[in-house]
């Protein structure tokens, strides 16, 4: 399909970006965990600048930050969907929410380990 021939194509693409940015803004404004991730991300970015980390370390850090924020947003979307479906306790609803939260936790732990691998040697060199 020729994108230029699709008159509404540009509008749909613009709307997709608009909705995506609205989702990011909504999560950042309403979700405590997202706010925590954003604060920690800013601190890590500042630390990266202060310690002049390498290009590959920047790539790794940015992947961790982007992955963490995206995964937190997916977790929130799953929680919202489950809550919309049922307010009553249901074992499958709990399981869906717990599994999504577990995925976030795993990525957070791995991201912290990566951060420690990158920054601990630099911090120790600064102290010694």
32, pLDDT greater than 90: yes
- Tokens coding 37: 């991730």
72 catalytically annotated = yes
| DSSP-assigned letters across all residues of 11-70 | HHHHHHHHHHHHHHHHHHHH-HHHHHHHHHHHHHHHHHHHTT--HHHHHHHHHHHHHHHH
What confidence tens digit (pLDDT) does each residue in 76-106 have? 999 999 999 888 889 999 999 999 999 999 9
Domain segments of the chain as ranges: 36-127
Give the residue-averaged pLDDT of 7-18. 82
The model's confidence at residue 10, banded by pLDDT at 50, 70 and 90, is confident
Interatomic CA distance for residues 128 and 103, integer angstroms:
37
Could you please state the CATH topology (level 3) that the domain comprising 36-127 is classified under: Helix Hairpins (1.10.287)
Predicted confidence at residue 84, as pLDDT, reads 92
Query: Of the listed 31, 57, 72, 79, which one is catalytic?
Result: 72
């Amino acid at each position: 399909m020729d994108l230029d021939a699709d008159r509404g194509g540009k509008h749909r693409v613009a709307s997709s970006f608009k909705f995506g940015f609205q989702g990011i803004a909504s999560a950042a404004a309403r979700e405590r965990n997202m706010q925590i991730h954003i604060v920690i991300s800013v601190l890590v970015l500042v630390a990266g600048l202060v310690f002049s980390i390498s290009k590959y370390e920047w790539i790794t850090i940015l992947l961790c930050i982007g992955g963490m924020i995206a995964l937190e947003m997916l977790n929130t979307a799953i929680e919202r969907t489950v809550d919309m479906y049922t307010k009553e306790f249901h074992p499958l609803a709990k399981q869906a929410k717990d599994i999504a939260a577990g995925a976030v936790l795993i990525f957070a732990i791995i991201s912290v380990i990566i951060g420690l691998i990158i920054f601990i040697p630099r911090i120790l060199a600064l102290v010694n």
